[in-house]
Structure 1
Amino acid sequence: MASMNPIPEKAPPCEGGKFSLAKLALLSLFTGAGIGLVIGCFRMALDFLNTARTDSIAWAHQWPVLGFVLVCATVALTTAFAAWLVQRSGQPAAGSGIPHVEAVIEGKLPAAPILLLPIKFIGGLSAIGGGLALGREGPSVQIGANLAEFWGKIFRLSGTDRIALFAAGSGAGLSVAFNAPMAGAIFVLEELVRRFDTRIAIAALGTSCSAIAVASLMLGQEPDFKVATLPNPSFWTGPIFALLGILAGLAGVAYNRLIIRTCALFDGMTRWRPELRALFIGALVGAIAWFGPHLVGGGDIISQKALVGGIGLSALPLIIAVRLVLGPLSYAAGTPGGLFAPILALGACIGLGFGLLCPQFVADSGATPITFVIAGMAAFLTATVRAPITGMILIFEMTGAFNQAVPMLWASFAAMTVPTLMGNSPIYDSMKARTIGVAKTMQ
C-alpha cells in the first residue's frame, strides 16, 4: 500500500468547498459511533478478564506449588499468544498504537488495513487481560484510527480529509478508553498533529462526541475514578506542587530511558523468537501476579486506591519499584498495549508518596494527600509524554476533580521543564523509530 501523504502545513477550513467539509463532519459522527461501539465492547471484555484473572489467582492459592505453576503458565501462554498473533498477522500491532498513528500522519508509514482491528482487539485482550502492565488506550487509539481509515477510503475522502479523519479516530479511541471526550479531542491536536487545524478539529470533536455517546450506553457516564470532594488549594502554594513536578520530571526521564533500554535489550535477543521472549516475560509477570495480584495489569486498581488514600507509606516503595520494572518489561513483550494507564498508576503513587512524606507541605497548601495524587498523575504523564494539556484534561475527566487545576498546572509546568532541559525526548518520539523499523520488517 502506498504511503499516505503527511498533513500539509496549511489546510484552509473550506479546502475542497463547503460540501467536502460537511461530508467530513457527518462522516466523523458516523465513524465515532462505530468506534464507541467497538472500544466499548473492548473495555467491557477487558473488565471481565481482569476480574476473572484476580479471581482465578485467588482460587489457585489452594495449591501453593501447582497453583503457582498454573498462574505463571497461563500468563506466559496468553502473552505468547498475543505476540504470536502480532507476528503472524503481518500488521504493526505491537506495543502502543500511538507511535504508528503518528508515523502514518507524518507520511512515514502506510495506514494498516482493516485486518489490524481484530489483531489489536484480540491481542490486547490476551496481553492486558493476562496481566501485562499495559494500557487499554494503546489498542483503543489504533483501532479508532483503523476504523477511521477504513471509512475514509470507503467514502472516498480526499487525502487531506482522510488524514483528518484518521487522526480524529485515534482521539475517539482515547476518549472511550478513559471516558474522557475532551481529552481525546485535545490529544489529536496537541500530540498527534501538534498544531491547530480547523478541519482536524471539527473531525476530532465529531468523532469524540458520537463515540462517547455510544460508549456511555454500555459503560455509563460516571468518571473512571471515584474521588471524594477535595478542598480548594491556595493559589499561593504553587511552588510546593512545582517541587512535586520536579520529582515527577526526573522520574519521567528515568522511566522513558528504562522503556527504551528494556526494549533494546529484548530486541537484541535475536536468537529467541519473539513468541519465546513473550513467553519468558509472561512467566515473570505471572510470578509477580501470584504474590501480588493487584500489582499487575493496567494499573487502574493502584490508581483508584491511591485516590482514596488506600495505600500506606510503607507499601509505596515496593509498588513503585515493581511497576517501574513491570511496565517496560511488559512493553518489550511485543504485544498490543499502551503506556498511559501504567504511567497514571506510577504518577499516582509518586504523588501520594510526596504528600505522605511531606505533611507540612500538605498542611501549608490547604490540601490533602489526594491533591498530590492528582497533581502527580498529571505531572508524570507530562514528563513522559510531553502533552500537558491532554494530561490535565484527562485527569479532570477521569476524576471529576475540576477544582484542582492550580496544583496540576504548577506540577505539570515543572514536569515539562525538567526533561526538556535535560534533553530527554518524549516517549512516543523515541518509540516512533522502533515502530517504523518493526512495521517495515512485517510488510
Structure 2
Amino acid sequence: MTGFSDQDSSALLALATLIGAAALPFLFRLAFGRRRRKGRARAASVVLALGRSRRLALVAAAGAERLLLLGETSDVVIESHIADAAPTAETPAPPSELRGLFPLGAVSLLAGVAVGTLCGVFRLVLDAAGRMRMAIPDWFAERPVLGLAIMVAGAALATGLAANLVRRFVPAAVGSGIPHVESVIDGEEPPSPPLLLPVKFIGGVLAMGAGLALGREGPSVQMGATLAHQFGRYLRYDWRDQQSLLAAGAGAGLAAAFNAPLAGAAFVLEELLRRFDMRHATIALGASVGAISVVRLLLGPEPELRVATHYPVGPLDVPLGLALGAATGLASLAYNRAILRALDFADRSPLPAEAKAALVGAGVGAIGFLAPDLVGGGDNLTQKTLDGAYALDALPLVFALRFALGVVSYAAGTPGGLFAPLLALGAEIGLFFGLVIPGEDGPTMGMKFALIGMASFFAAVVRAPLTGLILITEMTDNSQLLLPMLAACFAAMAIAAICRNEPIYDALKERSARLARRAET
C-alpha cells in the first residue's frame, strides 16, 4: 500500500498535536530553568540565615562560651546540607518526569507489541467463535429442535466453565476488569498475577463465544495491563514506572480491541490516571503504537464500523444533539442502576457461580438460535443500526432485549466488558431519535444520530467524553459530526450529573471495595 489514507493522516495529525501539547512543560523548563534555579538559591540563603538565628538563640541561653563553639558548628552543618540539597548552575537536576523516559518509552513500545499480539489473537479467536455460533442455525435448518438443544447446552456448558475458571483461579478476572485495573493503579489492590492472562483469555472466549452480550475490550484492557506490568516487574522498575506501564498496557488493550490507537491513549489519561503529563502521555502513546502496529498486521487497517455516507452537519443538528444527549443521559441512569442491581441480585442467589452462569448461557443460547444477530458483543447489531436496517416499530423491542441481555450477561460472573454492548445501545437510541424527527430524509437522519447516540451514551455511562469522541471517530473514520457529538456529550453528562448517576466504573470499583470490607469482617 502506498501513501496515507485520510484516516492515517488524521491520526498522524492528532498524534502530532498530542506530542506537541505534551512537550510544552519541557520547553517551559528549558526557557525558565535558570530563573527557577536562582530562586532556589535565594531560598537556600534564607534557610541558612534562619538556621543560624535559631541556633544562636538557643545557644545564647547556655552561655557565651558554648555559644561560640556551637555557632561555628551549626554554620558548617547547615551550609553542608544546603550545598548537598540545592542544585547548582553547573549540575542542573533533570526534571523527574523526564528522567529515564527514553528507555521506559522503549519498554512501553515493546510491551505494546506484546499486548497487540495477545489481544489481536484474542480478537481472531472471538471472531471465529462468533462465526461458528452464527452458522449453527443454518447447519440445523432442517432439524431445528436438535439445533436449539445443541445451542442451549453448548452455551450453558461454555458459560459455566468460564465462571468456574474465574472462581477457582483468579476471581479478579470476573467482569470487565477495568475497575480492578483502576484499583491497582490507585494502590487499593495488588496487581493481577500472570495466571490472569490464560483465565481471562479462555474465559472470555467461552463466554462471548457462547453469545453473552459482553465486549472484548474489558478482557483486552485487563490482559494488556497485566502483561505490561510484568515487563516493568521483570526489569525491576520502581512502582511509579510499573504503574505507568500498567496503565499504558491497559490503553494498548483498548486500542487493540477497537483498532483505535488515540482512543487507547486518551483512555489512559482521562479514565485510568485522570491526569496529563508528558511522561504518562509518552508511555501511553508508545504502548498504543506498538499494539496497533501488530493489530493492523493481523486484522488490517480498515475501521471497525462502515459508515456509508459522510453526513454534513445541518443547522438543527446541534440543538437536536442536545436533545438526544438529554435522552441518553436519562437512559444511562437506568443502565447503570440495572447493572448494579443485577450484580446484587446475583450475589444474593444461593446458586453456585457455575449454575448461575449456565442458566444465563442457556437463555442466551436459545435467543441466539432464534435471532443470531441479537446476541454477542454487538458489533453486527451496531453495524446494522448504522446502516438503518431496523424499522422504527422494531427498535423499541430490539433495544429492550439488548438492554436486558447486557445486564444479565454482566451479572453472570464471567469475563467480559461493557463498551461494545453500550455502544450498540447508544446507536439504537440515536437511530430511533433520528427516525422520529419529521422530515423527508428520515433514514439519513436516523443513521446520522445513531453515531451521535453512540458517543453521548458512552459519555453518560462511563463519564469519559474525550475517549468516547475519539473512539467513535476512529471506529467509523468519520469526524464530520464532532460538533453535534460534543453537544450531545455535554447534555448527556449534565443530565447524568444532575441525576447523580455515578460513572459505571467508579460505581463498580466502590462496590468491589465494599464487598471486600464486608468479607473481612
Pairwise TM-score range, normalised by the shorter structure: over 0.9
Q: Which residue of 2 aligns with 1:419?
A: 496
Note the C-alpha offset of 1:319.
Answer: 0.8
Do the aligned residues in 2 keep the contact of 1:103 with 1:436 (CA within 8 Å)?
no
Q: Which residue of 2 aligns with 1:402?
A: 479
Q: How does 1:252-331 map to 2 (within 5 A)?
A: 252-269=332-349, 271-331=350-410
Distance 1:30 1:439 in 2: 35
Distance 1:338 1:192 in 2: 16
Distance 2:239 2:284 in 1: 16
Distance 1:207 1:74 in 2: 37
Q: Which residue of 2 aligns with 1:206?
A: 286
- TM-score with structure 1 setting the length: 0.93
Distance 1:28 1:221 in 2: 22
Note the C-alpha offset of 1:323.
Answer: 0.7
After TM superposition, what 4+ stretches of structure 1 lie above 6 angstroms from structure 2?
438-442
Of residues 176-185 and 313-322 in structure 1, the stretch that sits farther from structure 2 once superposed is 313-322
* Secondary structure of 2:100 counterpart: helix
> Is 1:338–2:417 an aligned residue pair?
yes
1:386-405: CA deviation from partner (whole Å, max 9, x where unpaired):
10110010000000111111
Could you say what the CA RMSD is over the residues aligned between the two structures, in angstroms? 1.9
**Structure 2 portions without partners, runs of 5+:** 1-24, 27-93
Q: Which residue of 1 aligns with 2:506?
A: 429
Note the C-alpha offset of 1:266.
Answer: 0.7
**Which of 206, 210, 218 matches 2:298?**
218
Distance 1:439 1:169 in 2: 26
Q: Which residue of 1 aligns with 2:465?
A: 388
Q: Which amino acid aligns with 2:509?
A: K
**Structure 1 portions without partners, runs of 5+:** 1-11
Q: How does 1:59-98 map to 2 (within 5 A)?
A: 59-98=139-178
Do the aligned residues in 2 keep the contact of 1:226 with 1:304 (CA within 8 Å)?
yes
- How many residues matched? 428
Note the C-alpha offset of 1:436.
Answer: 4.0
Q: Which amino acid aligns with 1:209?
A: V
Note the C-alpha offset of 1:96.
Answer: 0.3
Distance 2:484 2:139 in 1: 43
Distance 1:361 1:158 in 2: 62
Q: Which amino acid aligns with 1:132?
A: L
**Which of 183, 192, 213 matches 1:103?**
183
Q: Which has the higher contact order (CA 8 A, sep 6+)?
A: 1
Q: How does 1:140-289 map to 2 (within 5 A)?
A: 140-234=220-314, 237-269=317-349, 271-289=350-368
Distance 2:439 2:490 in 1: 22
Q: Which residue of 1 aligns with 2:80?
A: none
Distance 1:310 1:55 in 2: 21
Note the C-alpha offset of 1:310.
Answer: 1.4
* Secondary structure of 2:126 counterpart: helix
Distance 2:111 2:293 in 1: 12
Of residues 167-176 and 222-231 in structure 1, the stretch that sits farther from structure 2 once superposed is 222-231
1:317-353: CA deviation from partner (whole Å, max 9, x where unpaired):
1110101100010000110000000000001111001
Do the aligned residues in 2 keep the contact of 1:133 with 1:297 (CA within 8 Å)?
yes
Do the aligned residues in 1 keep the contact of 2:228 with 2:245 (CA within 8 Å)?
yes
Change (3 A) 1:63 1:434: farther
Note the C-alpha offset of 1:228.
Answer: 1.6
Of residues 123-132 and 67-76 in structure 1, the stretch that sits farther from structure 2 once superposed is 67-76
1:95-139: CA deviation from partner (whole Å, max 9, x where unpaired):
001100000011110001111111101100000111000000010
Change (3 A) 1:91 1:15: farther
Distance 1:231 1:292 in 2: 31
1:18-63: CA deviation from partner (whole Å, max 9, x where unpaired):
5521121110001000011110000011001000001013323432
Note the C-alpha offset of 1:438.
Answer: 6.6
- TM-score with structure 2 setting the length: 0.79
Distance 1:416 1:71 in 2: 40
Do the aligned residues in 1 keep the contact of 2:122 with 2:201 (CA within 8 Å)?
yes
Do the aligned residues in 1 keep the contact of 2:435 with 2:445 (CA within 8 Å)?
no
Q: How does 1:11-160 map to 2 (within 5 A)?
A: 18=98, 20-160=100-240
Distance 1:133 1:17 in 2: 41
Q: Which amino acid aligns with 1:223?
A: P
Of residues 89-98 and 384-393 in structure 1, the stretch that sits farther from structure 2 once superposed is 89-98
Note the C-alpha offset of 1:241.
Answer: 1.0
Do the aligned residues in 2 keep the contact of 1:347 with 1:378 (CA within 8 Å)?
yes
Note the C-alpha offset of 1:283.
Answer: 1.0
Identity of counterpart residues, as a percentage?
50
1:397-423: CA deviation from partner (whole Å, max 9, x where unpaired):
000111111121111111111010111
Q: Which amino acid aligns with 2:380?
A: I
Q: Which amino acid aligns with 1:429?
A: D
Q: Which amino acid aligns with 1:322?
A: L
* Secondary structure of 1:301 counterpart: helix
